[in-house]
Amino acid sequence: MTQETPKSDAHSADNGVDANADDGRNERHRARMVRKKAVVDEKIEKAQRDCGVIVITTGNGKGKSSSGFGMVVRAMGHGMKTGVVQFIKGAIPTGEEKFLRRFPEECEFHVMGEGYTWETQDRTRDIAKAEAAWEQARRMLQDASFGLVLFDELNIALKLGYLDVNTVIADLQARPDMQHVVITGRGAPQALIDAAHTVTDMTPVKHAFADGIRAQPGVEM
């Protein structure tokens, strides 16, 4: 199933444009754009409901967490209070953490855990850390003053069985009506996908790492 936003419908309909034709091109362009605008406007008219949405970014490609942090700053731009809980990660302070900790009134930032699970090699400890992280997440989900919350890498904690997906979904569904939640990490469980409004699979086409380029500050961390 693929579904698109009005932005996407309008631009994807433009695939047939011949970039080299000039004769009457401006007029044809204008006529095409008039038709598109009608289509877009109609779709926009049909989508008028407001509600807090659950957004999931999953898949093996680059961009899941960075997209989540982009939404956090977008929300901050609209004056919303935000919250971040980072699951799994934790050993090395990232650029996003350094940046967002500058705004404690606007973004409550928690990093749980002590690094990747293959670094700690201690499942019992990892589970305890994940459960403590979820306590922070649940507290945010019970507090309508948070306009948008990001649970970074939560999917991995679910996939590894560190947290119960049904408990997580129940807490998500009990949140305030207008609160947005962004959940990142590869391997999102199907039950969580079913419970979400917007889900993107970030599919890798290629990655600098395969060319021997290591993770770059500002890009990957």
Residue 131 interacting with a copy of itself (CB under 8 A): no
Contact 147, 176 (CB under 8 A): no
Give Rg (Cα) of the chain. Answer: 20
Residue 33 interacting with a copy of itself (CB under 8 A): yes
Q: How many CB atoms lie within 10 A of CB 154?
A: 28
Residue 46 interacting with a copy of itself (CB under 8 A): yes
Rule CB under 8 A: which of 176-195 touch a copy of itself? 180, 182, 186-187, 193
Taking CB under 8 A as the criterion, the residue among 10, 140, 183, 195 binding a copy of itself is 10
> What does the alpha-carbon distance between residue 217 and residue 183 come to, in Å, rounded to a whole number?
22
Tokens 């009990």 belong to which residue? Answer: 174
| Span interacting with a copy of itself, options 49-57, 135-143, 167-175, rule CB under 8 A | 49-57
| Span interacting with a copy of itself, options 132-140, 169-177, 196-204, rule CB under 8 A | 196-204
Taking CB under 8 A as the criterion, the residue among 29, 166, 173, 176 binding a copy of itself is 29
Give the shortest CB-11-to-a copy of itself separation in angstroms. Answer: 6
Residue 139 interacting with a copy of itself (CB under 8 A): no
Residue 86 interacting with a copy of itself (CB under 8 A): no
Give the shortest CB-174-to-a copy of itself separation in angstroms. Answer: 19
> What does the alpha-carbon distance between residue 8 and residue 23 come to, in Å, rounded to a whole number?
27
Residue 143 interacting with a copy of itself (CB under 8 A): no
Taking CB under 8 A as the criterion, the residue among 16, 23, 24, 26 binding a copy of itself is 26
> What does the alpha-carbon distance between residue 104 and residue 209 come to, in Å, rounded to a whole number?
34
Please name the residues in contact with 99: beta carbons below 8 A apart, sequence gap of 6 or more.
Answer: none
Per rule CB under 8 A, count of chain residues that contact a copy of itself: 111
Residue 161 interacting with a copy of itself (CB under 8 A): yes
Choice between 52 and 139, CB closer to a copy of itself: 52
Residue 30 to residues 8, 14, 169, Cα–Cα distance (Å): 18, 12, 47
Residue 92 interacting with a copy of itself (CB under 8 A): no
Residue 201 interacting with a copy of itself (CB under 8 A): yes
> What does the alpha-carbon distance between residue 163 and residue 207 come to, in Å, rounded to a whole number?
30
Please name the residues in contact with 139: beta carbons below 8 A apart, sequence gap of 6 or more.
Answer: none
Residue 147 interacting with a copy of itself (CB under 8 A): yes
Of 41, 37, 44, 42, nearest to 13 by C-alpha is 37
Strand pairing partners for 81? 146
